Homo-oligomer: A and B are copies of this chain.
Amino acid sequence: MQEQDGHIKVVSLLSGGLDSSTLLGYLVSQNYSIVALSFNYGQRHRRELRAATEIANYYKVEHRIMSVDLRQIGGSALTDSIDVPDINVDSIGKDIPPTYVPARNTILLSIALGLAEVVGARKIFIGANSLDYSGYPDCRPEYFESINKTFNLATKATVEGRSISVEAPLLNFSKADIVRLAEKLHVPLELTWSCYRGGKKACGTCDSCKLRLKGFMEANSVDPIEYERYPEFYSRYLKSR
């Protein structure tokens, strides 16, 4: 992580999940001047937007919710009526799952770039992490390196000498590392929402729930949010504590 870099204006993508919420907590601890940016992209449930709003309010940062309807593109279990799969936690990261949304990070970061230019932000933060990247091509380090070069050519701001960089400081963090960081920073994890399904409680069976619970387990901690049912490995872990 970088040195204290206070009062620089930044845009930080905030889905309301574990990663982006921890990232926000980190940026707050570093005294950045933050615009948190969430997207209503036609996700099948809005539960995560509620989480994002609660977390932005908790941290008292400016929060924008922008609309871009990725259902118009289709091709994903997160926006279409394709089923969100129950997944074997060991297969995560090996294949690109049906929850992949075509070009999502590229689209969302591009919109963030426009906003960063208008509000005068110097950095765009995203909570992507590659160790548990669940097979998404647009969460890989080489992807972020390249989009930084493109963004550096793309705007009036950069042409005029004000560079806007994309930063993914959690890129090499495991979920367990993120849980540890969140706890150290006292991030209100009880407000976060990672589940791909939109029930009253997190499902506990989609790959996002399983990755999250695996992270808490490996960090030797307990997830404060409620689940419909725990996956086998997490039930065993709770009993063993």
A160 and chain B: residue at smallest CB distance: B96
Contact code string A46-62 (vs B, CB < 8 Å = 1, else 0): 00000000000000000
Smallest Cβ distance from A85 to chain B, in angstroms? 15
Interface string of A121-162 (1 = CB under 8 A from B): 000000000000000011010110011011101111011100
Q: Mark A214-228, 1 if CB is under 8 A from B, else 0.
A: 000000000000000
A100 to B157, CA, bound (A): 11
Whether A191 is near chain B, meaning CB under 8 Å from some CB there, is no
- Is A213 among interface residues, defined by CB-CB distance under 8 A? no
Q: How far is the CA of A74 from the CA of B114 in the complex (A)?
A: 8
Q: Is A72 an interface residue (CB 8 A)?
A: yes
A146 contact from B102, B140, B150, Cβ within 8 A: B150
Assembled-state Cα–Cα distance A117/B73 (Å): 9
Give the distance in Å from the alpha carbon of A67 to the alpha carbon of B73 in the complex: 11
Q: Is the CB of B118 within 8 A of A113?
A: no
What's the tally of chain A residues with a CB closer than 8 Å to chain B?
43
Which B residue's beta carbon lies closest to that of A153?
Answer: B143
Query: What secondary structure prevails in chain A residues at the interface with B?
Result: helix
In the complex, are the beta carbons of A70 and B114 less than 8 A apart?
Answer: yes
CB distance from A197 to the nearest CB of B (A): 22
Q: Does A5 contact B (CB under 8 A)?
A: no
**A100–B72 CA distance with the chains assembled, in angstroms:** 25
Given contacts A96-B160, A102-B114, 19 further A-B contacts (CB under 8 A): A66-B72, A68-B68, A68-B111, A73-B118, A75-B114, A101-B114, A102-B113, A102-B115, A105-B154, A106-B110, A106-B150, A107-B114, A137-B153, A137-B154, A137-B155, A146-B150, A147-B150, A149-B149, A149-B150
- A residues in contact (CB < 8 Å) with B: 64, 66-70, 72-75, 96, 100-107, 110-111, 113-115, 117-118, 137-138, 140, 142-143, 146-147, 149-151, 153-156, 158-160
